[in-house]
Chains A and B, each alone.
Chain A
Amino acid sequence: MRILVVEDDLEAQRYLVQGLKESGHVVDEAADGETGLSLALSRPYDVAIVDRMLPKLDGLKVVAEMREHANSTPVLFLSALSEVDDRVKGLKAGGDDYLTKPYAFVELLARIDALMRRRTPAGIRTRLDVGDLELDLLTRGAKRSGTDIELQPREFRLLEYLMRHAGQVVTRTMLLESVWEYHFDPQTNVIDVHISRLRAKIDKGFEAPLLHTVRGAGYMIRAH
């Protein structure tokens, strides 16, 4: 995958580029808004990681310009600003996701994976499958090996999100943001308890577990 990194803090940029390359991505970098914008407009990228505060051209303006030029590359904003409403501003300017510094690299990786996945939607799907687990999005029913599984509405949304990102790491923050629409970290890790409930419903009594904990990162649902 080709990724554009626009970051003026060279130390942070080096770290990002190195980490992404080690994860198997092809990375271009820019240290200011103007260079970043011209790169974004001249080459195709799967994802752009853009810092909010950049010299020459502010991160918000870079993305707004990209959208003006009908460039729809998914953008992840990185910001060291205080958070409360900057997220809203970033998303309004055309950003697709927003991450506050300092961040864990796994969190960033999980989010750009999710962004790239979002870019290639496999049409409108009415059913999701992972191994022998099926989720019917129309009847809102779940089955494993043909056995019906009773799910609460929120459990359904949680499972749906995990299955839409099957094979990818999904972090707790991502789950809180997309399933609960909360943009804060609760003091106690409530997500873990929701996951273990869900796990009891879909994995209990089956030989091969589908819902896995990824140490230090989050969760992943996969067939093998």
Chain B
Amino acid sequence: MRTKPGLLQTQAFRIVLVYVLLFALSVSALLFFTYWNTRRTLDAQTDQIIEAEITGLGEQYQHLGLQGLAETVRSRSLHLGQTLYLLTDGLKRPIAGNLDSWPQISEAGGFVEFDYERQVDGKMETRRARGRIVALAGDFVLLVAQDVHDRYLTERMFTTTLPWTVALILVLGLLGGGLMSRNMLRRLDAINRTSGEIIAGDLTRRVPLAGSGDEFDALAENLNRMLDRIERLMKGLREVTDSVAHDLRTPLNRLRNRLEESVARLNASGTQAGEIERAIAETDQLIATFNALLLIAETDAGTTRAAMTPLDLGEVAADVAELYEPLAEERKIGLALVPSTGVATLGNRSLIAQALANLVDNAIKYTPPGGKVRIRAAAGDNGVELSVADSGPGIPPADRARVVERFVRLEASRNSPGTGLGLSLVAAVAHFHNARLTLEDNDPTGLKAVLRFPKAALRTPLKAAAE
């Protein structure tokens, strides 16, 4: 089975992630704009009041001079309101106003913001103010400001809460998204699992419906309807194969029975029954060909109910090598098995063993004495493979595609025994397993037949195969 993707790798979660990030970004932008706009409006109001004050005081200054200005400032400073005044000389020494000292002002010119000390409810408090500095003749300076501490506090509150708000949106969004995608994944997983079980050969499985009538249910219903149809077709095909098998085997059985009876009768009466015994051998050849054809047809169409189980190709290779080793030795051919472990795939042991046996059989048949045949099971990047390499004459590249077809036998092998179906069966078994059969040049001479099983063959849940 392909490793189940973690939540983070799923498409559903990625969509949620992008959505949540976009949402958080929009919310931040909106909040920031509101904040910025509100502040601008408030500042404009404050600035207006300050401008009005300065205009008023400016008139006093023009009419009454510095002394008059100082008087006015003093009288306006008598009670500590929202407006702050400070008139100083060139050395920033206070002359009049309700600020005790020149505050720390970083920038000069235009409107400035600064902190100042003030007594509130008997306690000294640092507060924020916004004001404007007006330079007078003789280095005297007038500062007119408005207390904006409330606005300042609101602003501070805003800037400290904003990151938390965004964080909260992200957390809640991801949490909700995670839950949502997990729910979605569960539904998808059910569909995946069912498809896996069906690929593994159990056509009776159906995708479970949640009963909510949503688009997943609609998808499941459509899939199930499709499966019903495939199952019906497969069943029809199977019935045809079964009927063909039955209707051909029954008369073949009678034929063979009668021939055997005749042999027994002739033997009993002391007559030689050689002709009939040869007829039995021919019948057996006919039966073998028919059985092979039937198996190829069934395997190729995938209508066999052959069960797929997890298996180790290394073991399959070792078993087949063990079966053929004495035969190879008898023919003076070195049969080598490249040892391997953990070459796992999902398949039908009997079919794969039969396919491998056919390949080894061919290799031994066509390799001259003194030659070598090598069986190997290996795991690669794109899946696992079984290969049989020999040092025989090989097959010319032009004929390679043809030899896999049914009944095709090359001129060179016409006289050796065989049905001409061996490689076709291997190809059918490959097809059944989504594997590929390729015939390649072996180094330095000979043929190398490779069965490549895709990684996807392992995607089917092992649970289904074990059932």
Contacts and interface: CB of A to CB of B under 8 A. Distances in A.
B27 interface: no
A43 B324 CA distance: 46
The main secondary structure of chain B at its interface with chain A is helix
A3 to B, nearest CB: 17
B253 A154 contact: no
A101 interface: yes
A187 interface: yes
Contacts of A104: 256, 260, 284
B306 interface: yes
B260 A105 contact: yes
Interface in A40-86: 53, 80-85
A9 B245 contact: no
A102 B287 CA distance: 8
A146 interface: no
Contact of B357 (A85, A154, A184): A184
A126 interface: no
Given A101-B252, A184-B354, A186-B357, A84 B306 contact: yes
A190 B350 contact: no
B269 to A, nearest CB: 15
Given A187-B418, A193-B326, A102 B354 contact: no
Interface string A99-114: 0111111000000000
Nearest to B257: A15
Nearest to B362: A187
A70 to B, nearest CB: 28
B189 interface: no
Interface string B292-304: 0011001100001
Interface residues of A, number: 34
B96 interface: no
Contacts of A9: 250, 253-254
A12 to B, nearest CB: 6
Contacts of B357: 182, 184, 186-187
A83 B422 contact: no
B178 to A, nearest CB: 44
A81 B327 contact: no
A194 interface: yes
Interface in B244-272: 245-246, 249-250, 252-258, 260-261, 264
Contacts of A88: 307
Nearest to A183: B350
Contact of A101 (B253, B305, B353): B253
B255 A102 contact: yes
Contact of B330 (A12, A102, A193): A193
B253 A12 contact: yes
26 contacts: A9-B254, A11-B257, A15-B254, A15-B257, A80-B249, A82-B242, A82-B294, A83-B294, A84-B305, A84-B306, A100-B249, A101-B253, A102-B252, A104-B256, A105-B260, A154-B322, A180-B323, A182-B350, A182-B353, A185-B288, A187-B417, A187-B418, A187-B422, A188-B361, A193-B327, A196-B326
Given A9-B254, A187-B365, A190-B327, 9 more contacts: A12-B254, A12-B257, A81-B246, A84-B295, A84-B305, A85-B306, A103-B253, A182-B357, A185-B288
